[in-house]
Amino acid sequence: MIWSLVKIILFVCAVAAIALGAGFLLESQGGVQVVVAGTEFTLGPLESVIALVLLVFAVWVLLKLVGAVIALWHFLNGDETAITRYFARNRQAKGFDALAEGMMALASGEGRMAMTKAAKAEKYLKRPELTDLLTAQAAEMSGDRRKAEQSYRKLIQNEQTRFVGVRGIMKQKLAEGDTATAMELAKKAFALKPRHAETGDVLLKLQAQSSDWAGARNTLHTKLKTGALPRDVHKRRDAVLALSEAKQVFEADQTIEAREAAIEANRLSPDLIPAAVMAAQAYIEQGNKKYATRVIKKAWEAMPHPDLAATFAAIEPEEDAAARLKRFQTLTKLHRDHAETRMLLAELHIANEDFPQARRDLGDLFETDPTARVATLLAAIERGEGAPDNVVKGWLTRALTVPRGPQWVCENCLHIHANWQPVCENCESFDTLAWIKPPMAEVAMPGSVGMLPMIVGNPEPQPAPDLAMIEDAELLDPDAPDDPTENQRT
C-alpha cells in the first residue's frame, strides 16, 4: 500500500523532471554542429538529445547482430551454443515424453508398446539407467525373458542401478526354479541393501528351504540390526531356526549340541510348543525330570497343547493312572477352563476309570465347541459306564461329522500338517504354521443317523455286527500307554 503510493509519487516526480528538462533545453541557447561529407547540420538542444538516444540504440542493435553472427559461427563449428542448447532441450523434452508414455504403457499392461517407447526414449535421452529399467520391465511383461535379462545385466554394470539388476535376475531365476543361483543372487542383493525387506525375506525363505539354518539365522540377525525386523518377530523366528538347527542335529545323533540348541530355542521363545517339546525330550534323555517338568509347565502356561501333555506323560512312563492324575495337577491347575485342559482331565479320569468325573470335566464342551476329540472322549465315557453299543457308536459316528479342532495349519495356504515344521510342506513358506482350527471345507458327511441308520438310528438295541468302530473304541481303553493324546490326534 505504502509502496504503491511511493511508486506513484516517484512516477509523478520523474514526469515532472522530464518536462522541466525539456523546457530547459527548449529555452537554452546553442546546440551541436555536425559536419558530414561537407554538409553542415546544426542541431538544437532537444534534437541533440534525441540524436544521442538514437545513436545508443543503433550501437546496441549492432552489438546484438555481431553476437548472433558469432553464435552461428560457433554452431557451424559444432561448439555448444544457445542454438545447440535449444535443440538439446527439445530432444530431452521428446525423450522424457517417450519415457512417460512408456511408463503409461507399462502401467496399462502394454509390454510391446512400452518397449518401443523405451527405445525411443533411449535414442533421445541417452540415460540408460532409466530406459534399461523400463525396457527390462516391459520385456518381462511381454514374456521376452532374454531381452529382460540383457537389460538387467546392463543395469548391474552401473553402480547406481546394480541392486535393481541383481534383484531382477534373481526374480527370473526364482521363476525358472533355479533356486541355487537365485540364492547366490539374493545374498548379493541383500549385501547391497540389507534394509530391503523383500530381499531379506526371499533370502530367508530360500535358506530355510535348503535347510541352511545357520545362514538363515545370520540373515535374520542382519535384518534385526538394520531395523528391518521387529525384535519380537526376530525372537520368534530365531527360535524357529534354532529349533530347526537342533532337529537337524538330532537326525545326526549329536545329542549334546542338539540339547543345547533346543534349550536355547526354548529360552528365546518359551511359548513355542515344538521348542518346549524338544527341550523337554532332551532333558528326559538326560534324566533331568525336574527341568523337563519345568519346561513343559512354562509352555503350558503360555498355551495348553496336546503335544505338551504327551511329552509331560513321557517324563514318567511307568506310573499308574492315579499317580499320573496327581502328577498332571502341575498342568491341569493352570488354564482350568481351557478346552485342552478339560479334555486332558477327562482323559486322565477315563484312564483312572472315574467316568462320572470325566463327564463332569468335559461339561458342556460338546455343545459349546464340538470337536472329534470331545465326541471320541464321550464315546469312551459311555462305554466305560456300560452304555448300550448304539450309544457308543452314535458318539463315534458323530466324531466323524464334527470339526476336527485345532491342527498345525499353514496360515499362508491352509495346508494341514501332522507335526510342526519350520517350512510349510505345501507352499514352502517359512514360519507360517500355527495351531489353529482349519476352516470347515470338509466333505459333507451324512449325520450319524444317516451313516449307520440300522444301528444308531434304531432306538431298540440290536445285535451289532463286528465293526471297526468297536476296535477304535477299544483303542481308548483305560490301559492306554504313556501317550494319552495320541489316539485323538490322528
Q: Which of 20, 413, 434, 475 is the binder for Zn ion (CB under 5 A)?
A: 413
Pick 99 or 240: Cβ nearer Zn ion: 240
Range in contact with Zn ion (rule: CB under 5 A) among 46-54, 144-152, 383-391, 419-427: 419-427
CB of 419 to Zn ion, least distance (A): 14
Range in contact with Zn ion (rule: CB under 5 A) among 13-21, 41-49, 67-75, 403-411: 403-411
CB of 308 to Zn ion, least distance (A): 24
Residue type, 21: G
Pick 348 or 410: Cβ nearer Zn ion: 410
| Grid cell of 209 as nine digits | 528351504
Range in contact with Zn ion (rule: CB under 5 A) among 136-144, 232-240, 244-252, 412-420: 412-420
CB of 285 to Zn ion, least distance (A): 32
CB of 434 to Zn ion, least distance (A): 11
Range in contact with Zn ion (rule: CB under 5 A) among 225-233, 334-342, 379-387, 410-418: 410-418
Q: Interaction with Zn ion in 254-273: which residues (CB under 5 A)? A: none
Site string for Zn ion, 420-449 (x = CB under 5 A): ----x-xx----------------------
Three-state secondary structure string covering the chain: CHHHHHHHHHHHHHHHHHHHHHHHHHHCCCCEEEEECCEEEEECHHHHHHHHHHHHHHHHHHHHHHHHHHHHHHHHHCCCCHHHHHHHHHHHHHHHHHHHHHHHHHHCCCHHHHHHHHHHHHHHHCCHHHHHHHHHHHHHHCCCHHHHHHHHHHHHHCHHHHHHHHHHHHHHHHHHCCHHHHHHHHHHHHHHCCCCHHHHHHHHHHHHHCCCHHHHHHHHHHHHHCCCCCHHHHHHHHHHHHHHHHHHHHHCCCHHHHHHHHHHHHHHCCCCHHHHHHHHHHHHHHCCHHHHHHHHHHHHHHCCCHHHHHHHHHHCCCCCHHHHHHHCHHHHCCCCCCHHHHHHHHHHHHHCCCHHHHHHHHCCHHHHCCCHHHHHHHHHHHHHCCCCHHHHHHHHHHHHHCCCCCEEEECCCCCEECCCCCECCCCCCECCEEEECCCCCCCCCCCHHHHCCCCCCCCCCCCCCCCHHHHHHHHCCCCCCCCCCHHHHC
Pick 382 or 431: Cβ nearer Zn ion: 431
CB of 489 to Zn ion, least distance (A): 20
Range in contact with Zn ion (rule: CB under 5 A) among 62-70, 371-379, 387-395, 407-415: 407-415
- Binding of Zn ion at residue 416 (CB under 5 A)? no
Q: Which of 138, 410, 423, 456 is the binder for Zn ion (CB under 5 A)?
A: 410
| Grid cell of 359 as nine digits | 463327564
Pick 137 or 207: Cβ nearer Zn ion: 207
Task: Find the helix packing angle between 306-315 and 273-286, rounded to 10°.
Answer: 10
Pick 327 or 415: Cβ nearer Zn ion: 415
CB of 423 to Zn ion, least distance (A): 9
CB of 371 to Zn ion, least distance (A): 23
Close Cβ partners of 234 (under 8 Å, ≥ 6 residues apart): 220, 221, 223, 224
Pick 12 or 416: Cβ nearer Zn ion: 416
Pick 286 or 426: Cβ nearer Zn ion: 426
Half-sphere exposure at residue 418, Cβ-oriented, CA atoms within 13 angstroms: 4
Pick 19 or 413: Cβ nearer Zn ion: 413
CB of 425 to Zn ion, least distance (A): 7
Q: Which of 255, 288, 412, 487 is the binder for Zn ion (CB under 5 A)?
A: 412
CB of 361 to Zn ion, least distance (A): 35
Residues 135/161, Cβ–Cβ less than 8 Å: no
Pick 211 or 412: Cβ nearer Zn ion: 412
Range in contact with Zn ion (rule: CB under 5 A) among 265-273, 392-400, 409-417, 470-478: 409-417
Pick 413 or 475: Cβ nearer Zn ion: 413
Total residues at interface with Zn ion (CB under 5 A): 7
Pick 296 or 433: Cβ nearer Zn ion: 433
Range in contact with Zn ion (rule: CB under 5 A) among 2-10, 292-300, 355-363, 413-421: 413-421
CB of 417 to Zn ion, least distance (A): 9
| Grid cell of 194 as nine digits | 540389507
- The residue count for the chain: 490
Residue type, 429: S
Pick 204 or 296: Cβ nearer Zn ion: 204
CB of 204 to Zn ion, least distance (A): 15
CB of 240 to Zn ion, least distance (A): 15
CA distances from residue 116 to 109, 169, 256 in whole angstroms, order as listed = 14, 22, 63
Q: Which residues bind Zn ion (CB under 5 A)?
A: 410, 412-413, 415, 424, 426-427
